[in-house]
Amino acid sequence: MADLVLFGDVVTMDDAKPRASAVAVENGRIVAVGSDAEVAPHIGPGTIVHDLGAACIMPGFIEAHGHPLNEAVVLGEPVVDIRPVTIPDAAGVLAAIEQAVASGGPEGALLNGWDPLLQKGLSDPTLQWMNEMSPDAPLVILHNSGHAAYFNSAAAVAAGITRDTPDPEGARFGRDESGDLDGVAYEMAAVLAIASPQLLSNADRFPQLLAAECARMNAAGVTTVSEMAFDPAMRPALEAAAEAGVLTTRLRLYETSGPRRSSDVAPGAGNDMVRQVGIKIWSDGSPWIGNIALSFPYLDTPATRALGMACSHGHANYTKDQIVEISTPYYEQGWQIACHSHGDEAITMVLDAWEEMLGDNPRPDHRLRLEHVGAMRPDQFRRAARLGVTCSLFVDHLYYWGDVLVDDLFGSDHGAHWAAAGSALAAGHRISFHNDGPVTPTNPIRNIADAVTRRSRSGHVLAPEERIPVGAALRAQTIDAAWQLFSDESIGSLTPGAHADIVVLSANPLTVDPDALADLEVRATVFAGKTVHGSLG
């Protein structure tokens, strides 16, 4: 007999039986999906039954490219949240920095979310300004993209970074003409090096911080999330948190590539709760700080001039040969590889590198991944499909930065076609969507709406020919995301034997007006058969 039976409007994401009216759960697994009559035999004296009426029952959403371990830390104390979703204007940001410095004491202040493109009136902080803001205590401000950090002289001292500190692989510390540090760290390895003293100050609170992160995911209907920059040094803390029972989302880990070009575990290590499935590498950086490699230039606008990007084609952080050199050892060890690539030139470089690697050592069903793919062209989607390379799109860029992409950075020819989901589907891809937290708050419902309507926050429609059907957008947050994570046998659909990871929405996305998709509510989230958010009653 089932522990739990739900009646309602069921969207299974299972092609063999796409719609149903009831789901039965036993011991955290789905045991039956179908009509009321088909599920009724599973109801016994101890079964909890909920009739959810017109509410929609779906598989829990999957965040295919997240950073939950990092987000758990940067959204908790002592980090101050100044992201545009929290503080939309420049005056508020500056006031928050002043307050953080005043209250930070000798330990200093760490803030996350600086974004001049959305917080109009800000520009990149200078070392002089940072030193004036906090003459004696460390001050570090993380860019909202995660690809840069600004720091004062005291922060450099605290982190042990000097003009003679070598640049990490694929990252760098900015320097002035005389070779002295200029107060900017570029890319993750350098950003973490400058921020680590303050980030580590709350390491003993990690289980509580991770529990809070899981709760945020559950509130958005998410039951599985990838960690796309996993540091093996976090493994003991993560294992302790899992043993303590704080996890209410499944984790799929992508370890950051390192000089050893190998991991201390084998592909697939772990279990259905926490499993390492891949390796994360980078080709370029962020469109918002100008270090993505493009075949076309940034526009010459007040915004690009203020940020030093006007007329630039950007640049990659690695060469094609370096991508081959980094990828090949991991690939030969059986790993899936996920590569951050935004600019179309960077994407060409990665595809060239991987085509060479695959030609030398073919492997069926490798599911090599391209991440974000903001400027990816239709011909590149077709080429990637021929190589068996799959794509995860940061489609939420359209909502937050859609107007910026067109008006400030790239114009309608390139900016409007950002995150071209329609071209990806036309090329035959099984795509996923993501929010890349903490860059934007995890919100699969809005991702679905973004892909279907392609409306920016101001209401402008960007490249309507790149819109996709609702059903395809749902797949990108469920079964196709699970497939990218090599987990579609147990999550991403409501089928007998799958984990009972379920989201209950206020209405069926397939039947509401597309313009109302973003207004759908998460009524409840069920993880392994237990309600972890909202209520089924």
- Burial category of 388 from C-beta neighbours within 10 Å (exposed 0-12, middle 13-18, buried 19 and up): middle
Cα distances (Å, whole numbers) of residue 201 to 77, 82, 107, 134, 140: 9, 19, 9, 19, 14
Rounded to a whole number, what is the distance in angstroms from the first to the last CA of the chain?
A: 21
The DSSP bridge partners found for residue 59 are 502
DSSP-assigned states of every residue in 486-498: T-TTTSSS--TTS
Residues in the chain, total: 537
**CB 198, CB 138: distance < 8 Å:** yes
Q: In what order do the strands lie in the sheet with 502-505?
A: 29-34, 19-26, 4-11, 48-59, 502-505, 522-527, 530-534
The domains located in the chain, with CATH, are: 1-60+492-537 (2.30.40.10), 70-201 (3.10.310.70)
- CA dist list (Å): 530 to 26, 252, 268, 348, 526: 11, 20, 26, 45, 5
Structure tokens at 471: 């059903």
**Sign of the four-CA dihedral 81, 240, 434, 224:** negative
Q: Tokens in use for 507? A: 């209405």
Select from 405, 380, 417, 203 the least CA-distant residue to 286: 405
Quick check: 229 and 297 in contact, CB under 8 A?
Answer: no
Q: What is the pTM of this model?
A: 0.96
DSSP 447-459: HHHHHHH-B-TTS
CA separation for the pair 92, 87 (Å, rounded): 6
Confidence (pLDDT) at 477: 98
Q: Check residue 215 and give its pLDDT.
A: 98
Report the distance separating Cα 323 and Cα 137, nearest Å.
39
DSSP string, 2-25: -SEEEEEEEE---TTS-EEEEEEE
Instruction: Identify whether the C-beta of residue 283 lies closer than 8 Å to the C-beta of residue 316.
Output: yes
pLDDT at 77: 86
CA distances from 336 to 40, 327, 375, 484 (A): 42, 10, 23, 10
**Rg (alpha carbons) of the chain, rounded to whole number:** 23
Q: Which residues of the chain have pLDDT under 50?
A: none
Rounded distance between C-alpha atoms, residue 382 and residue 387, angstroms: 9
H-state helical runs in 144-301 = 153-159, 188-199, 206-219, 235-243
pLDDT at 458: 96
pLDDT tens string 365-414: 999 999 999 999 999 999 999 999 999 999 999 999 999 999 999 999 99
Q: Which pLDDT belongs to residue 12?
A: 98
DSSP category for residue 61: E
Answer whether 31's CB lies under 8 Å from 42's CB.
yes
**C-alpha angle with apex 280: 250 to 214, nearest 5 degrees?**
25
Q: Is the distance from CB of 63 to CB of 52 less than 8 angstroms? A: no
What order of strands is seen across the sheet that includes strand 109-114?
80-81, 109-114, 139-143, 148-151, 181-186, 172-175
Q: How far apart are CA 289 and CA 303, in angstroms?
A: 11
Taking CA atoms, 16 is separated from 33, 183, 349, 429, 500, in Å, by 11, 56, 39, 20, 18
Query: Residue 457 phi/psi, 5° resolution?
Result: -60, -30
Residues 6+ apart with CB under 8 A from 502: 6, 23, 57, 58, 59, 60, 223, 494, 525, 526
CA 377 to chain centre: 21
